[in-house]
Amino acid sequence: MRDFSQGHEWLSINTATVRKQWRLDRIVDECARRGIRAISPWRDQVAAVGLTALAKQLRDAGVVLSGYCRGGFFPAADEAGLQAAIDDNRRAIDEACTLRAPCLVLVVGSLPGALDGKPAYRDIARARAEVRDGIAATLEHARAAGMPLAIEPLHPMQAAERACINTLEQALDLCDELDAARGGALGVAVDLYHVWWDPKLAQQIARAGRERLLAFHVCDWLSPTRDLLNDRGMMGDGVIEIRKVRGWMEAAGYAGFAEVEIFSDHWWSRPGDEVLDTCIARLRSVV
Amino acid sequence: MRDFSQGHEWLSINTATVRKQWRLDRIVDECARRGIRAISPWRDQVAAVGLTALAKQLRDAGVVLSGYCRGGFFPAADEAGLQAAIDDNRRAIDEACTLRAPCLVLVVGSLPGALDGKPAYRDIARARAEVRDGIAATLEHARAAGMPLAIEPLHPMQAAERACINTLEQALDLCDELDAARGGALGVAVDLYHVWWDPKLAQQIARAGRERLLAFHVCDWLSPTRDLLNDRGMMGDGVIEIRKVRGWMEAAGYAGFAEVEIFSDHWWSRPGDEVLDTCIARLRSVV
């Protein structure tokens, strides 16, 4: 297992972590000057600075991506909506290619309209089928572009609005169904926040293996957690056995970045410098 | 599948649903006069009116139990704590016998101290082992008393504080480990709120079968959900396909009560009469 205590070369910052403090170009600068080698940006943040400009800035700064956030949200109330989602995912793949991302992270979606409080239907099995079909329809373009898709299982408390894939086992079953050859085009993003509770976590990480383990997101689960969306904890402030799970990841062959992704009203209210410096310190002491 | 649209003979009220409106003796009266045949009371509510007095009131009113809430909370920071939990579960079994409950529902506990914001350790695998040992140590007394134990998997968002058994599959694996003969002493309580999201729900309900399906709790999952504990919805107000899941339960052999269990700041703020009348109406129209 890699020793993270002496440096932070394997740290990546998911740019949502400081999205309320800084625009994306500033985030890249702040990471670069701290020796943070990688980021994972969100599409809306990229659009705000411009795709081409960002690609150039990243090259100049020597900062790479650990992933691109995000594709997904496949289910829809009608055929036009389903097709629009597939088209949008193809654009996301092209953007990810421009940014030389190692993978496009998929938050797959669930009951259409639920994010706005108006679910068009309640049949989660239908949403799951639409996710399967949407990924299948996207996979061809992803393979042609050489851009792996990383299915991110989300916490079951987000099953209605954000993702109807809620366990690593479920994500891997889908990978096996759509990419039986394990050709590298389809895998998973393991985000500790979403999967830490799973009694089958160790078993399923081992099952995934190197070909399927495309990203590793770290933060912590606060006890108590006060909000279903924006109360993630900094590593070390909660109850997740982070190093233990990283050990499972590495034993299964994962050798990439540990990407800090913290949606938190608390951390969004702190100075960006403090947040990044804390990420570095906690990576070394906790992760 | 039973037709619930014409009457509410299979309705039970988990007494937490109106705990802030009425004392338990009043709840029993209010249920009886509405033709609600069953309740599932909590130990603290029972203690407030007295075990013997309640047992007599129930007999006089012709109201039965669909379960007794609750045993569990097995993990502890030291041996004395582990033993105290086992002793307390034995007392809960005896109370359940006095009240002629069909089962004692187990909220198994998780990281000790986490409910008070001070987890004594973070090793959830240890908590799971302590739960297994605690149930094993309790099972002998339960068998002797003829009181089945119903393991209730709780939603993964409550995995740190309340229960480290978080899927029906995990609960059934434990049942198989401790009661391989399926002798009726150990089973599960299926609470829609906790398990609705599970992609293996239908499969695991079928696996459980009649011997293991000891209780069925209904409410709804609101989208969005605003609180991790006290924002359950009334049946029909959320996204759970309640009737579909009841169909799976009945196909697997379950023929007992549908127990309405709603922890909700909203419903606690409404008149108790309105809450019970709504439960009856929604059971008929939605469940």
Report pLDDT digits (tens) over A174-184. 999 999 999 99
pLDDT of res. A144? 97
| Range A69-80 average pLDDT | 98
pLDDT of res. B44? 98
Least Cα distance to B141 among B93, B211, B69, B96 occurs for B93
Give the one of B198, B228, B240 whose C-beta lies nearest to A228's C-beta. B228
Give the one of A164, A196, A224 whose C-beta lies nearest to B117's C-beta. A224
Q: Identify residues of B whose CB sits under 8 angstroms from chain A CBs.
A: 111, 114, 117, 119, 122-124, 128, 155-157, 159-161, 165-167, 170, 196-199, 221, 223-226, 228, 239-241
Q: Indicate yes or no: CB of B239 within 8 angstroms of CB of A114.
A: yes
- In this structure, the strands spanning B38-40 and A149-151 are unpaired
Q: Indicate yes or no: CB of A124 within 8 angstroms of CB of B170.
A: no
Please state, for a pLDDT cut of 90, what percent of chain A lies above it: 99
* Whole-angstrom distance, CA of residue B247 vs CA of residue B257: 13
Q: Indicate yes or no: CB of A197 within 8 angstroms of CB of B156.
A: yes
Angle CA A278–A23–A102, to nearest 5: 75
Q: What's the number of CA atoms in the CB half-sphere (13 Å) around residue A267? A: 26
* Whole-angstrom distance, CA of residue A279 vs CA of residue A273: 10
Angle CA A13–A208–A154, to nearest 5: 55
pLDDT digits (tens, 9 = 90+) for B177-222: 999 999 999 999 999 999 999 999 999 999 999 999 999 999 999 9
pLDDT digits (tens, 9 = 90+) for A206-243: 999 999 999 999 999 999 999 999 999 999 999 999 99
* Whole-angstrom distance, CA of residue A251 vs CA of residue A254: 7
| B interface test, pick of A157, A173, A232, A243 with most B CB neighbours within 10 Å | A157
Query: What pLDDT band is residue A44 in, cutting at 50, 70 and 90?
Result: very high
Query: What pLDDT band is residue A139 in, cutting at 50, 70 and 90?
Result: very high
Query: What pLDDT band is residue B67 in, cutting at 50, 70 and 90?
Result: very high
Cβ contacts of B124 on chain A, cutoff 8 Å: 196-197, 239, 241
| A interface test, pick of B111, B118, B121, B122 with most A CB neighbours within 10 Å | B122
Average pLDDT, chain B: 98
From the number of C-beta atoms within 10 Å of its C-beta (0-12, 13-18, 19+), residue B191 rates as: buried
Give the one of B156, B198, B223 whose C-beta lies nearest to A155's C-beta. B156
Cβ contacts of B198 on chain A, cutoff 8 Å: 156, 166
| Range B62-66 average pLDDT | 98
pLDDT digits (tens, 9 = 90+) for B237-257: 999 999 999 999 999 999 999
pLDDT of res. B22? 98
Q: Indicate yes or no: CB of B239 within 8 angstroms of CB of A111.
A: yes
Chain A, nearest residue to B124 by Cα: A197
Q: Indicate yes or no: CB of B228 within 8 angstroms of CB of A223.
A: no
Query: What pLDDT band is residue B264 in, cutting at 50, 70 and 90?
Result: very high
Query: What pLDDT band is residue A49 in, cutting at 50, 70 and 90?
Result: very high
| A interface test, pick of B151, B157, B170 with most A CB neighbours within 10 Å | B157
pLDDT of res. A176? 98
Q: Give the strands of the sheet with B104-107, arranged side by side.
A: B64-65, B38-40, B11-14, B258-260, B213-218, B186-191, B149-151, B104-107, B68-72
Query: What pLDDT band is residue A87 in, cutting at 50, 70 and 90?
Result: very high
Q: How many inter-chain contacts (A to B, CB under 8 Å) are there? A: 90
pLDDT of res. A145? 98
DSSP-assigned letter for residue A239: S
Q: Indicate yes or no: CB of B122 within 8 angstroms of CB of A240.
A: yes
- In angstroms, the separation between the Cα of residue A158 and the nearest Cα of chain B is 9
Q: Indicate yes or no: CB of B159 within 8 angstroms of CB of A224.
A: no
